[in-house]
Amino acid sequence: MKKITLALAASGLLLGSSAAMAAGPNTITFMGEVTDQTCEVEINGNAANPVVLLPTATTAELAAAGSTAKETTFTLGVTGCDGTALTSKTVFVGNVVDVDGNLTNTATSGAANVALQLLAVPGSQASAIDLNTTTPVAGVVLAAGETEGTVDYAVQYISVAGGATAGPVLGSVQYAVSYQ
């Protein structure tokens, strides 16, 4: 009898726990897109977990407010497209973004007063991508018959307030490519 009582008490706890877990917010939103074609996407030739390495910057380069350093181009490429003419758009979504729309430095014991800024057009400070929005930027354009192509973007260190300190810098961004 003791075993049955213990088993019933344990199952009651489990049922109570699942009811408590179900009482909170429990909505999962799934998003996707159906398109006439899709292509394989890669960053700098790497389709899985790409890493873009920036050259080392000095604190002197990032001492002044608004200073930037070591712009580094990275390439988004598409392959395996079906040959239909297409114009794509890219949306970048930062995982940790500051109020200025730049990637916050998430490195452990990282450099202070330094962020990472994405540029839609390499060499053009005016093309800085505000990661607080989901505004698409120009992507790969393919003419009829083309099955692959590339577009360049850039990333750079930025010190909005100035006074950067030494240390590692790390940031990450997710991206989505849509075809029109």
Task: Tell me the CATH number at 174.
Answer: 2.60.40.1090
Q: Which residues span the domain enclosing 121?
A: 36-179
Mean pLDDT of 67-75: 96
Q: Would you say residue 111 lies in a domain?
A: yes
Looking at the predicted structure, is the pLDDT value of residue 18 above 60?
no
Give tens-digit pLDDT for 132-151: 999 999 999 999 999 999 99
Mean pLDDT of 45-60: 92
Looking at the predicted structure, is the pLDDT value of residue 4 above 70?
no
Looking at the predicted structure, is the pLDDT value of residue 9 above 60?
no
Q: Token digits for 130?
A: 């505000």
Q: Would you say residue 69 lies in a domain?
A: yes
Q: Would you say residue 6 lies in a domain?
A: no
Looking at the predicted structure, is the pLDDT value of residue 47 above 60?
yes
Q: Would you say residue 10 lies in a domain?
A: no
pLDDT band at 10 (very low <50, low <70, confident <90, very high): very low
Q: Would you say residue 15 lies in a domain?
A: no
Looking at the predicted structure, is the pLDDT value of residue 8 above 70?
no
Q: Would you say residue 91 lies in a domain?
A: yes
**What is the model's pLDDT at position 53?**
95
**Average confidence score pLDDT of the chain:** 86
**What is the model's pLDDT at position 17?**
46
Q: How many domains would you assign to the chain?
A: 1
Q: Would you say residue 30 lies in a domain?
A: no
Q: Would you say residue 157 lies in a domain?
A: yes
